[in-house]
């Protein structure tokens, strides 16, 4: 007979957990007491805020492919994990989040640090369950890990009462491999595959739009085989940027609000659009009524709820892309679409002349964000992960850092969570320790989770933090300038001395303001062993182009102000 808390640790061992992120507190003390005896089995990372723990677990999961594990206490700790859970739900990130809870007798009495965790978290998780008896812990944990990682991944919350942690049980563990009501991997319809193949075989101007589902399904080789057999040009969503290398011949760039001109334009010129593991976000489609109206649309996705949710499709193949892509590849005919692929080139040249050249070779004295990201991309190693926060820094990172399967681009996509980047980089560094780990934040976003410098200090995490400081909430400022008559309401920022803050944590740091110092500063940061903070003072009024205004047709591409 062992305690529920001891059983929880044994469950983690059964699930081959190696890292836990979290923060202790009153109603989770029994679990942390049990953890004390398992220090050789698990690496526990004490973050400085529960939200930081969840984002760190997200970063870990995104690069490792394994569920990130979080353990926090009740009440405010449980409510602090909600943002990360919602972020993970929208971006299909597998997490298992353990929250402590008051005793069963106190439930519903508004006792100290008691909250309705299930009611709060059910809308933003795949599964949320309260454990009231020790004997239910093995069953609940096995089910939680299964639901988090199988099918379309996502977050799960287990709210474990103090009673369950201290009660005794006869421990037996059986891994979960089936839930009757959960069809994690639907079988692709043969008729749908045949219909899709017929459309592709007849297409003159096919275009694939590739999302994170390909990466989550570990189907990158299958994607390449599909594209190459029929010579289909492909574009990535923001979340799919790590799937195709920038120099892959069929990679036409990124679609979306700040995506590349060529794939955005050609979305409304293709005759067959093949959406693979993506969800037709409004940031990709713009005005849905005018999105690819001329095209037959084929949608491959594991989640049936995504079919026809935003965009009505002609053929839906509901299955894991690891299975559906090879099945479709077998049915399509070899083809060449040389003229169609060449038609992307003039738009690429236009974007280079009107946007990229100005970003990378500006006439003004102040540094641009693009210069910083291009320099980092050029100097970073072949195995390097870049975590971006949210805002202008995120869009510039997506545009100018060359991502690939070995150079992961990690960002908060659906929820757009400022403060995500820094703690997520901590998790990424642990989940992929062989990679160089960089994180890019704006001066606004970094101050939402800057306390995680303490985590970096305690564990000497080799995370390189780049702060792009323009003394504004840059993306909101951009919208105010372009669409709100330059009324800069609550966006200018008076910032601290970030270098001194880093130094107070014993972290090497420097600040760059001049172009002639940038390359060497980035080289010094890369060469430094251990954590590093590089602040770069960039232009205050910089704007990220191209830009499709929210709700506009994707053909309405702004290449500059008043253009």
CB neighbour burial string for 275-285, b if at least 16 within 10 angstroms, e if fewer:
bbbbbbbebbb
Cβ neighbors of 34 (< 8 A, separation 6 or more) are: 3, 5, 6, 8, 9
Chain length of the chain = 563
- Structure tokens of 411? 């960002």
The span from the CA of 165 to the CA of 35, in Å, is 12
3-state percent breakdown (helix, strand, coil) of the chain, nearest 5: 45, 20, 40
Is residue 113 annotated as a catalytic residue, yes or no? Answer: yes
Catalytic residue among 13, 112, 460, 540: 112
CB–CB of 178/204 below 8 Å?
A: no
Catalytic residue among 244, 254, 369, 475: 475
Distance of CA 487 to the CA centre of its chain: 32
Is residue 215 annotated as a catalytic residue, yes or no? Answer: no
Is residue 1 annotated as a catalytic residue, yes or no? Answer: no
- Structure tokens of 394? 């995120």
DSSP letter (8 states) at residue 467: E
Cβ neighbors of 219 (< 8 A, separation 6 or more) are: 277, 320, 321, 322, 325
Backbone angles phi, psi at 227, to 5 degrees: -65, -45
Catalytic residue among 113, 350, 379, 451: 113
The span from the CA of 206 to the CA of 209, in Å, is 10
Give bridge partners of residue 128 from the DSSP assignment.
Answer: 157
- Structure tokens of 379? 């100097």
Long-range own/partner contacts, residues 77-82 (CB < 8 A, 24 or more apart): 77/23, 77/25, 77/28, 77/50, 78/115, 78/117, 78/120, 78/121, 78/159, 79/115, 79/120, 80/49, 80/50, 80/51, 81/50, 81/51, 81/53, 81/54, 81/121, 81/157, 82/120, 82/121, 82/124
CB–CB of 237/340 below 8 Å?
A: no
Catalytic residue among 21, 114, 126, 162: 162
What's 213-266 look like in SS3? HHHHCCCHHHHHHHHHHHCCCEEECHHHCCCCCCCCCCEEEECCCCCCHHHHHH
Cβ neighbors of 67 (< 8 A, separation 6 or more) are: 61, 94, 95, 96, 145, 148, 149, 153
Question: Which three-class secondary structure state does DSSP give residue 84?
Answer: helix
CB–CB of 75/100 below 8 Å?
A: no
Question: Which three-class secondary structure state does DSSP give residue 169?
Answer: strand
Cβ neighbors of 361 (< 8 A, separation 6 or more) are: none
Is residue 51 annotated as a catalytic residue, yes or no? Answer: no
Any idea what the Cα angle at residue 241 is, between residues 239 and 246, rounded to 5°?
170
Is residue 101 annotated as a catalytic residue, yes or no? Answer: no
CB–CB of 153/94 below 8 Å?
A: yes
DSSP letter (8 states) at residue 367: B
Catalytic residue among 9, 12, 15, 50: 50
Residues with catalytic function:
50, 112-113, 162, 475
């Amino acid at each position: 007979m062992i305690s529920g808390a001891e059983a929880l640790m044994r469950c983690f061992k059964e699930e081959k957990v190696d890292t836990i992120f979290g923060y202790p507190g009153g109603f989770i003390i029994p679990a942390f007491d049990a953890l004390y005896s398992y220090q050789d089995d698990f690496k526990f990372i004490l973050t400085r805020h529960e939200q930081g723990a969840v984002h760190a677990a997200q970063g870990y999961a995104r690069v490792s492919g394994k569920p990130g594990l979080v353990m926090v206490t009740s009440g405010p700790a449980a409510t602090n994990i909600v943002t990360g859970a919602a972020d993970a739900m929208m971006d299909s990130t597998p997490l298992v989040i353990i929250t402590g809870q008051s005793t069963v007798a106190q439930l519903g009495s508004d006792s100290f640090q008691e909250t309705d965790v299930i009611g709060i978290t059910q809308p933003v998780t795949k599964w949320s369950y309260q454990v009231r008896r020790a004997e239910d812990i093995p069953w609940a944990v096995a089910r939680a890990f299964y639901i988090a990682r199988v099918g379309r991944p996502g977050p799960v919350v287990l709210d474990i009462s103090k009673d369950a942690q201290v009660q005794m049980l006869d421990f037996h563990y059986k891994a979960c491999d089936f839930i009757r009501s959960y069809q994690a991997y639907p079988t692709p319809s043969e008729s749908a595959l045949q219909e899709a193949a017929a459309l592709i075989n007849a297409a003159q101007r096919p275009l694939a739009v590739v999302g994170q589902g390909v990466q989550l399904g570990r189907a990158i080789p299958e994607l390449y085989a599909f594209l190459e057999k029929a010579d289909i040009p492909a574009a990535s969503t923001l979340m799919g940027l790590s799937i195709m290398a920038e120099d892959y011949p069929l990679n036409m760039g990124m679609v979306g609000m700040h995506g590349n001109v060529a794939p955005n334009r050609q979305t409304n010129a293709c005759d067959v659009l093949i959406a693979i593991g993506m969800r037709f976000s409004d940031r990709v489609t713009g005005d849905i009524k005018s999105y690819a109206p001329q095209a037959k649309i084929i949608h491959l996705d594991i989640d049936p709820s995504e079919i026809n949710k935003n965009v009505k499709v002609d053929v839906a193949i509901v299955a894991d892309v690891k299975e559906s892509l090879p099945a479709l590849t077998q049915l399509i005919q070899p083809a060449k679409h040389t003229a169609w692929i060449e038609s992307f080139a003039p738009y690429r040249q236009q974007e280079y002349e009107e946007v990229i050249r100005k970003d990378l070779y500006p006439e003004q004295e102040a540094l641009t964000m693009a210069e910083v990201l291009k320099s980092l991309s050029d100097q970073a190693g072949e195995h390097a992960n870049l975590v971006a926060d949210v805002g202008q820094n995120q869009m510039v990172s997506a545009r100018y850092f060359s991502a690939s399967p070995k150079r992961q681009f990690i960002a908060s996509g659906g929820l757009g969570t400022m403060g995500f980047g820094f703690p997520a980089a901590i998790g990424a560094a642990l989940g992929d320790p062989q990679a160089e780990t960089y994180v890019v934040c704006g001066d606004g976003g970094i101050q939402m989770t800057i306390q995680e410098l303490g985590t970096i200090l305690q564990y000497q995490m080799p995370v390189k933090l780049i702060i792009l400081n323009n003394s504004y909430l840059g993306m909101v400022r951009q919208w105010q300038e372009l669409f709100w008559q330059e009324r800069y309401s609550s966006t200018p920022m008076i910032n601290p001395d970030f270098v001194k803050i880093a130094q107070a944590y014993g972290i090497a740091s420097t600040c760059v303001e001049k172009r002639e110092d940038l390359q060497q500063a980035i080289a010094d940061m890369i060469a430094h062993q251990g954590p590093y903070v590089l602040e770069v003072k960039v232009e205050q009024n910089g704007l990220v182009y191209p830009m499709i205004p929210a709700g506009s047709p994707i053909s309405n591409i702004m290449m500059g102000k008043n253009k």
